[in-house]
Amino acid sequence: MIATPQLRPPSVPAPPPASAVLRVNGLRKCYGDTVAVDDLSLEVHRGEIFAFLGPNGAGKTTTVEILEGYRSRDGGEVDVLGCDPREPTRAWRARIGVVLQTCAVQPELTVAELLRLYGSYYPAPLSVGETLELVGLSAERDRRAGTLSGGQQRRLDVGLALVGDPELLFLDEPTTGFDPAARHHTWEVIGGLRDLGKTVFLTTHYMDEAQALADRVAVIARGRIVAEGTPDDLGGRDHAATAITFTLPDGVAVGDVPGVDVPLVQDERGHVELHTTTPTRVLATLAPWAEEHNVELEELEVRRPTLEEIYLRLTEQS
Partner 1 sequence: MNATALTARQLRYDQKSFWRNPQYVFFTVIQPVIFLFIFVSVFGNKTTLVNGHLIKRSTYYVPAITTLAIMSATFFNLTISLSRLREQGILKRVRSTPLPPGVFLAGRIGTSVTVSMLLVALLLAIGRLLYGVSLPTHTLPACIVTVLVGAAALSCLAFAVTAFVPSEDAAAPIANVIMLPLMFISGIFIPASEIPSGMQDVANVFPVKHLFEALLSVFDPSVGGAGFAWGHLAVLVAWGCIGALVAVWRFRWTPAGQ
User: Per CB under 8 A, does 83 bind partner 1?
Assistant: no
End-to-end CA gap in the chain: 44
User: Per CB under 8 A, does 177 bind partner 1?
Assistant: no
Do the beta carbons of residue 262 and residue 275 sit within 8 Å?
yes
User: Per CB under 8 A, does 103 bind partner 1?
Assistant: yes
Least distance (Å) between residue 42 CB and partner 1: 21
Least distance (Å) between residue 161 CB and partner 1: 8
Q: Which is nearer to partner 1, 31 or 238 (CB)?
A: 31
Do the beta carbons of residue 47 and residue 199 sit within 8 Å?
yes
Q: Which of 7, 12, 104, 265 binds partner 1 (CB under 8 A)?
A: 104
Q: Which is nearer to partner 1, 122 or 289 (CB)?
A: 122
Q: Which is nearer to partner 1, 200 or 307 (CB)?
A: 200
DSSP 154: H
Q: Which is nearer to partner 1, 123 or 288 (CB)?
A: 123
What is the rounded CA–CA span in Å between residue 297 and residue 249?
7
User: Per CB under 8 A, does 120 bind partner 1?
Assistant: yes
3-state helix, strand, coil in the chain (%, to 5): 30, 25, 40
Q: Which of 18, 26, 74, 121 binds partner 1 (CB under 8 A)?
A: 121
What is the rounded CA–CA span in Å between residue 8 and residue 14?
10
Q: Which is nearer to partner 1, 100 or 283 (CB)?
A: 100
Strands 96-99 and 242-247: unpaired
User: Per CB under 8 A, does 113 bind partner 1?
Assistant: yes
Q: What residues contact residue 194 under an 8 Å CB cut-off, 6+ apart?
A: 6, 47, 48, 49, 200, 215
Contacts with partner 1 by CB under 8 A lie at 68-70, 90-91, 93-94, 96-98, 100, 102-106, 108-109, 113, 117-118, 120-123, 144, 160, 164
